[in-house]
Amino acid sequence: MANVLCLDILGTSFTITADEDESYLNKVFAQYKAAVENTETISGISDPLNVAILTGFLLCDEINKINQHLEGTSLEVEQRALNLIAKLDQALKICENG
């Protein structure tokens, strides 16, 4: 079921329709509003278009940093799993031989 969300931000109002839950849409919008406010605060920029563009850029930067962290964590977990498998293999060989 499609949900409708009315957005009013940076002097612009519009409505979107999405298949996501209404509470999820409100949460995402609240996060975006907070990001916009943060961008305005840290940059001192007041032009709505420039704020929207810079906010989008900063959010993409944040997403990429999170993805890099997750990839690094994933590789670390994989390496630990391989080390444990190697130790288990050694232990099993010792049990079989002795």
Domain count, the chain: 1
Model pTM score = 0.71
CA dihedral 23, 26, 20, 48 (to 10 degrees): 180
Contact status, residue 32 vs residue 43, Cβ threshold 8 Å: no
The domain of 77 spans 3-97
Element (H, E) at 25: helix 22-43
More reliable by pLDDT, 7 or 1: 7
94: tokens are 């010792």
Q: Running DSSP on this structure, what letter comes out for residue 20?
A: S
Q: What is the pLDDT of residues 19-30, one digit of tens each?
A: 999 999 999 999
* Cα 70 from Cα 98, distance rounded (Å): 42
Spatial distance between the Cα atoms of 38 and 42, rounded to a whole number of angstroms? 6
Q: Answer whether residue 79 shows pLDDT above 70.
A: yes
